[in-house]
């Protein structure tokens, strides 16, 4: 049996100076090779590069972000790569919760986060940004 990740392997480390300095070329290369890549950095993890793949993963209830701090379920340890050992007993908010727990927090916020609700804030935010920039230039 061969390496199941060999076909999709791509060295990816977003915490290096090289990534910051060559962001455009690295992401172009990643997009050109495959929309889903396996990186061996930090113990190994998948990297979603294509926008279709990113949105599909974000909308998939079968993909877990859960930070199981009690170790009672599948043992996922959240979304941090690399894992920050000091944060292991804590969660990174709703992003590290699965249903039904996530739904208990998200449902009350839905009315405020709908596209129409967010759109109503655009003029306010635009004015705040303008005022902040005007103060500096």
What integer pLDDT is reported at residue 46 of this predicted model? 83
What integer pLDDT is reported at residue 135 of this predicted model? 92
Model confidence pLDDT, tens digit, residues 42-100: 888 888 888 888 888 777 766 666 656 666 666 566 666 666 666 566 677 777 777 78
pLDDT higher than 70, residue 32 = yes
Provide the whole-model pTM. 0.56
What integer pLDDT is reported at residue 59 of this predicted model? 78
Instruction: Write the DSSP string, the chain.
Output: ---TTGGGB----TTSHHHHHTHHHHHHHHHHH-SEEEE-GGG-EEEE-SHHHHHHHHT-TTS---B-TT--SS--B-S-SS--GGGTTS--GGGG--TTHHHHHHHHHHHHHSHHHHHHHHHHHHHHHHHHHHHH-
Which residues on neighbouring strands pair with residue 39, listed in sequence order?
45
């Amino acid at each position: 049996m061969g390496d199941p990740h060999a076909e999709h392997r791509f060295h990816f480390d977003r915490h290096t100076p090289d990534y910051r300095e060559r962001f455009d070329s690295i992401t172009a290369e990643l997009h050109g090779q495959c929309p889903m890549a396996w990186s061996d950095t930090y113990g190994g993890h998948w990297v979603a590069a294509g926008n279709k793949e990113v949105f599909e993963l974000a909308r998939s209830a079968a993909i877990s972000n859960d930070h199981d701090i009690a170790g009672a379920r599948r043992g996922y340890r959240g979304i941090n790569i690399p894992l920050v050992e000091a944060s292991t007993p804590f969660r990174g908010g709703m992003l590290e919760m699965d249903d039904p727990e996530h739904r208990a927090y998200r449902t009350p916020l839905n009315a405020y986060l709908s596209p129409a609700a967010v759109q109503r804030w655009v003029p306010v935010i635009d004015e705040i940004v303008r005022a902040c920039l005007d103060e500096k230039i």
